[in-house]
Chains A and B, each alone.
Chain A
Amino acid sequence: EPEVTQTPSHQVTQMGQEVILRCVPISNHLYFYWYRQILGQKVEFLVSFYNNEISEKSEIFDDQFSVERPDGSNFTLKIRSTKLEDSAMYFCASITGEMKNYGYTFGSGTRLTVV
């Protein structure tokens, strides 16, 4: 079964440093997403991406965050200057247009720890 692949699985970074979280969505999918889950809390929407642009973003997704699909296969989330409160599990997800009612495929997540 096709998978969404996220790398790395764990990342530790110093406060103020830039991090890039990487995702390889399923190849025929058209919609891409980032969600995050702070430890012990619910999963929160960050951003959706379609047709090479952001289609919706949450209030969490401020100027410190950016997304990119640089080469048609990878989908990246960049945090420019990390804060302690950015520590969370970050999930990438993708879905096809036709499969919009059939549920996302989520990656296994990247656990980001900011120290």
Chain B
Amino acid sequence: AQSVTQLDSHVSVSEGTPVLLRCNYSSSYSPSLFWYVQHPNKGLQLLLKYTSAATLVKGINGFEAEFKKSETSFHLTKPSAHMSDAAEYFCVVSGGSGTYKYIFGTGTRLKVLA
């Protein structure tokens, strides 16, 4: 069975400071991992993905994530937060099922303070 745990339901940072959103996963298979962002009343946008290539993954809007198998983690980072980064972020695990089903984390709401 697969699962994903987002360790923080809310994170607040000041504009210009680093962002860290934490995600741990559990999977019996080699997982594919994703981060999606959802702005208020909007759909789900893919930020970045890990699919067993490089362990440090770069995404859109300056976001990065590092796959650490030993820690079963896939934390999302950004060096400098921008006001427009305020949104809900979902960590997702997939793999091992022929249907490529996604398992979503519960989400982390990022607040960026001026």
Contacts and interface: CB of A to CB of B under 8 A. Distances in A.
Interface stretch (B21-29, B66-74, B79-87, B93-101): B93-101
Q: How large is the interface on B (under 10, 10 to 19, 20 to 34, 35 or more residues)?
A: 20 to 34
Contact of B104 (A33, A44, A102): A44
Q: How large is the interface on A (under 10, 10 to 19, 20 to 34, 35 or more residues)?
A: 20 to 34
Given A56-B97, A106-B44, A42 B102 contact: no
A27 to B, nearest CB: 19
Interface SS of B by simple majority: loop
A108 B105 contact: no
Contact of A56 (B52, B90, B101): B101
A42 B85 CA distance: 19
Given A91-B43, A91-B44, A109-B43, A104 B102 contact: yes
Interface string A45-70: 10010100001100000000000000
Given A31-B100, A109-B44, 9 more contacts: A33-B101, A42-B90, A43-B90, A48-B99, A55-B98, A56-B99, A103-B34, A103-B49, A104-B46
